[in-house]
Amino acid sequence: MIEQNSRRTENDLTAVLDACAISARRGYDIAIDGTEALKKSIHHMSEQLSNQIRTLKRSKFNDPKMMNDLIAQLSSIQSDFGAVPMKVAEEVGGLVKDTFAITLFGRTMAGKSTLMEILIRGNGASIGLGGQRTTRDVRTYRYKNLQITDVPGIAAFEGAEDERVAYEAAKKGDLILFLITNDAPQAKEAECLDHILRLGKPVICLINVNVALRSPNDLNKGLFRRDMTKKFAPKRLRDLQEQFVAFGRQYGSDWSGIPFIPVHLKAAFLSQQDAFQEVRDEVYELSRFPLVEEYIIREVCARGSFYKFKTFLDAVAVPALTMVERLFRYSVQNLKQQELLGEKRANLASWISSFEADGEKRIETFLTNLRSSLKRSVAEFAEEHYDDQRAGDAWAAMLKKRNISGKAEELINQLGHEYEAELREISRAICAEMRFSEQSFTNHSINMESIIDAKRMWNWFAAVGNGGLVIGALANWWNPGGWVLFGIAAASTLISFLFTDREKKVRDARRKLEKKLTEHIEEIIKQLRKDMNSCLQKNLIKEYVLPMQRVVYKIESSVSKLSEAQRNTARMLNDKLRKINTELLKAAFDHIGRDGMMRHIGKVARIPGDTVMMDCTQGGVLPHSAQDELAALLREQVLCIEGCDDVYDVLREAIWSPDIPPKEIWESRIVTSVGHAPCCVSIPQLDVSDAALRSRIRLAQQLTEMVVMN
């Protein structure tokens, strides 16, 4: 009878593996299509960034370093995202297509090598080497035509590279056997299990119970049976399982659906060795390994073809979801930075206008005072010099003594230094507000990563604030000798003409000299006004103030373009992701014999290994029994919402929190994109410390393409 059951199991497994190969081909085609969509979306964003880079290169940046920094940041974003499609395509191509793949995973010394030795009936050569394993220790072998992969242990000292290799190998598995021991569960083990589950992998957890067994005599004395009964006590194992499941709640996940199977791997291995030949069958049964083997085969036979199909889809869905969430959030973050920059640019323009008006006003005040001072000197000078043939030289000497050029230059320098201090303060304020905006965004978003380099943004504005200002270099902004000598030469000519008949025209000469000197003063004032205002415009505003305004605009424009490119790419990817989710759901319904259920389903959002949410807007209701069967197959929570086309209603149903405000308040908190499409909403009352609520928010964002912040 046992042989008949064994043959039937082997026949069933053979049929399942044939079905797995068919599922692999279907899944591969969908995954490759998804990879192409990923590549196309990233290429689209890359082209938009390239256009912006070309625009920057054509623009007249007064500071090449600033332009190069901005281009370098855009190029870095372009490069980082551009590498993803190639990596995903490589991973999809590396998945096993001809059989079912099982990966052994667990911390060092948990029993993975012992399990491998049992399955291949080895001599135990690899057992006990956990502490010395290297990244080359990924080993693959066959068991009942299944592919079994043993990976380096996790949670080892200085084992970061081992863990990286283990996770990469786990991506290729259709089913994960996660080994723990009956010692107290470790937080690091839970962290690694969460990582595996978020790859969308189904997991069977084996509890490798440690009971001393050195020789057959332990069995004969009854010590082994006694200790096995104690260590395998149901309550003891339930408590251990509950301790491990409790870790899942910290990650916002329900791990209670993970099967935990206790086993004594060392006993199963020893039962195959010559020293235990006489008690082989008894030891093997006591090890409980037959139950493990039976459970694995039953799981593969029942769900193997679906798991195989799912492996290929998740190879694209997992990285695509990561990219979608990052791009949506980056887009909103950059949009907020762009809005801040736009506001600051407007403030800067207002300040420039005020600075210009104030400068002109102070120049005019200076000229008014100068005119009054010079005119007060005219009568006295004319009285003393109306008959002086060298009056022009005397007038020039008097003007030089007044140091008009120096005082005018002093005023311009004062304006320049005041401008420098004010511009530095404006620069500092912009940078501080941008840093605050970035930190505020990070604090109020879910799973946020930064994309704008705050330090680099600060450097951009610090460079603008420093601006290379050399106010002292304004000493030659005009040639004071030129206008002074010109005026004196004219005055001398006039004066010599006046004194042709000195005795008869003294009074008239004095009056005419006063008139000419007054006219010359007006010429001086006129020329000074022209030169000083020209210096204000050319040497200060045009050379330093306006370039800063242009730099702010260039950065604002670049951040805006980046935000738009990221949002467009996120939407393209999200559309493809929802289609992949729909394909997975179709296959799942087919597998559980409910192929007609998809007519009830609209959009599908999913967090692999966590939750799937369906928008049942197509009419009808998904039966609870179907939801339960789906959850058991996917190993994920299944949620249904009865939404509609209105974004608010979908968000309210998906997030399902009493903290969702009324619609009129919600609408006032919406942030719109450049094209005025709603892209973000702030709901400050949300308690994002609740991991389950965070998952629902992420699902709501997939359905609505609206970033939710608290």
Give the 3-state secondary structure of residue 647.
helix
- Per the domain annotation, does 610 fall within a domain? yes
Let me know whether 609 and 558 are in one domain: no
Confidence band, pLDDT 50/70/90 cuts, at residue 550: confident
Residue whose entry in the numeric block shows the structure tokens 């935000």: 563
- Look up residue 212 and give its two tokens: 């001393």
- 390 assigned to some structural domain: yes
Residue 560 domain-assigned (yes or no)? yes
Residue 239: pLDDT over 60: yes
Residue 238 near residue 246 (C-beta atoms within 8 A): no
Higher pLDDT, 564 or 710: 564
The structure tokens listed for 430 are 């912009």
518 in a structural domain: yes
- Binning pLDDT at 50, 70 and 90, where does residue 184 land? confident
Q: Cα–Cα distance between 315 and 200 in angstroms, integer? A: 9
Q: HSE, CB side, 13 Å, CA atoms: give it for residue 386.
A: 19
Q: Is the pLDDT of residue 382 over 90?
A: no
State whether 558 and 598 are in the same domain: no
Domain boundary pick from 566, 584, 604: 566
pLDDT at 499: 43
Strand (E) or helix (H) holding 707: strand 707-709
Tokens 């007006």 correspond to 522
Task: Answer yes or no: is 653 within a domain.
Answer: yes
Kindly state the average pLDDT of the residues 272-300. 94
700 contact partners, CB below 8 Å, separation of at least 6: 605, 650, 651, 654, 655, 706, 708
Residue 536: is its pLDDT beyond 80? yes
Amino acid at 322: T
Query: Minimal CA–CA distance to 704: which of 637, 655, 631?
Result: 655
pLDDT in tens, 210-225: 999 988 888 877 888 9
- In this prediction, residue 336 has a pLDDT band, given cuts at 50, 70 and 90, of confident
Identify the pLDDT of residue 457. 38
**Strand partners of residue 637:** 611
Sequence letter at residue 55: T
Q: Model confidence over 603-633: pLDDT tens digits? A: 999 999 999 999 886 666 788 899 999 999 9
Q: Is the dihedral of CA 522, 526, 531, 537 positive or negative?
A: positive
SS3 letters across 459-489: HHHHHHHHCCCCHHHHHHCCCHHHHHHHHHH
**Interval 174-193 mean pLDDT:** 92
Residues 562 and 632 in one domain: no
Last residue of a domain, one of 550, 566, 582: 566
Indicate if 513 and 604 belong to the same structural domain.
no
Claim to verify: residue 443 and residue 370 sit in the same structural domain: yes
**pLDDT band, very low/low/confident/very high, at 203 (cuts 50, 70, 90):** very high
- Residue 264: left (phi > 0), alpha (psi -120 to 50), or beta? beta
Instruction: Report residue 621: phi and psi, to 5°.
Output: -130, 140
* Number of alpha helices (DSSP H) and beta strands (DSSP E) in the chain: 21, 12
The structure tokens 């965004």 sit at: 441
Do 630 and 543 sit in the same domain of this protein? no
Torsional sign, CA 371, 373, 375, 378: negative
Q: What's the confidence (pLDDT) of residue 470?
A: 33
Please, are residues 382 and 374 in contact by the beta-carbon 8 Å criterion? no
Residue 609 belongs to some domain of the structure: yes
Query: How does 337-374 read in b/e, with b if 16+ C-beta sit within 10 Å?
Result: bbbbbbebbeebeebbeebbeebeebbeebbeebbeeb
Q: How confident is the model at residue 130 (pLDDT cuts 50, 70, 90)?
A: very low
**Residue-by-residue DSSP string for 513-545:** HHHHHHHHHHHHHHHHHHHHHHHIIIIIIIIII
Of 664, 644, 623, 662, nearest to 704 (Cα)?
644
Each residue of 34-69: pLDDT tens digit?
999 999 988 888 888 888 788 777 776 556 766 777
Alpha carbon distance 331, 123 (integer Å): 57
For residue 450, the SS3 value is coil
Same domain for 418 and 364, yes or no, is: yes
Domain count along the chain: 2
Confidence band of 446 (pLDDT split at 50, 70, 90) = very low
- Picking from 26-35, 39-48, 473-482, 627-636, which range would have the lowest pLDDT averaged per residue? 473-482
Residues 561 and 610 placed together within one structural domain of the fold:
no
Say if residue 368's pLDDT is above 90.
yes
Is residue 65 a part of any domain in this protein? no
Mean pLDDT of 14-36: 95
The answer on 540 and 399 residing in a single domain is: yes
140 conformational bin, left if phi > 0, alpha if psi -120 to 50, beta if neither: beta
Q: What is the reported pLDDT for 73?
A: 72
Same domain, 467 and 337: yes
CA distance 224 to 650: 59
Give mean pLDDT, residues 16-28.
95
* Spatial distance between the Cα atoms of 309 and 25, rounded to a whole number of angstroms: 8
* Per-residue pLDDT tens over the stretch 137-158: 788 999 999 999 999 888 765 6
Question: Which strands, in side-by-side order, build the sheet including 611-615?
Answer: 604-607, 611-615, 637-641
**Rounded Cα–Cα distance for residues 35 and 48 (Å):** 20
What percent of the chain is modeled with pLDDT above 90? 38
For residue 614, what are its two tokens?
Answer: 């369906």
Query: What are phi and psi for residue 102, nearest 5 degrees?
Result: -120, 135
Assess whether pLDDT exceeds 90 at residue 383: no
Burial readout 305-320 (b: 16 or more C-beta within 10 A, e: otherwise): bbbbbbbbbbbbbbbb
DSSP assignments along 251-286, one per residue: TT---TTS-EEEE-HHHHHHTTSGGGGGGHHHHHHH
Residue 430 phi/psi, 5-degree rounding, is -60, -50
DSSP for 410-437, please give it.
HHHHHHHHHHHHHHHHHHHHHHHHHHHH
Q: Tell me the average pLDDT across 582-592.
A: 96
Counting beta carbons within 10 angstroms of the beta carbon of residue 191, is it exposed (0 to 12), middle (13 to 18) or buried (19 or more)? middle
Beta strands in 112-259 (DSSP E): 139-143, 146-150, 175-181, 203-208
Cα 393–Cα 396–Cα 397 angle in degrees, nearest 5? 85
Whole-number pLDDT of residue 676: 64
Mean pLDDT score of the chain: 82
What are 467's two structure tokens?
A: 């601006």
* pLDDT band with cut points at 50, 70 and 90 for residue 701: very high
Residue 693, domain member (yes or no): yes
In this structure, are residues 91 and 171 in contact, taking their beta carbons and an 8 Å threshold? yes
Q: Residue 131's pLDDT is what?
A: 46
Q: Which residue has the tokens 């996120």?
A: 570
Q: Do 482 and 443 lie in a common domain? A: yes
Strand partners, 147: 101, 142
Q: Which of 516, 548, 566 is the last residue of a domain?
A: 566
Strand partners, 638: 612
Domain that includes residue 498, residue range: 329-566
pLDDT reported for residue 134: 41
pLDDT at position 613: 94
Q: What is the pLDDT of residues 66-114, one digit of tens each?
A: 677 767 777 877 788 888 889 999 999 999 999 999 999 998 888 988 9
Give me the pLDDT at residue 128, please. 59
Task: Say which DSSP state 99 is in.
Answer: S
The confidence band for 443, taking pLDDT boundaries of 50, 70 and 90, is low
Q: Residue 126: pLDDT band by 50, 70, 90 thresholds?
A: low
In terms of domains, do 639 and 547 share one? no
Q: Which of the residue ranges 7-16, 126-135, 369-378 would you say has the lowest mean pLDDT? A: 126-135
Name the pLDDT band for 476 (thresholds 50, 70, 90).
very low
Give the whole-angstrom CA distance, residue 133 versus residue 150. 11
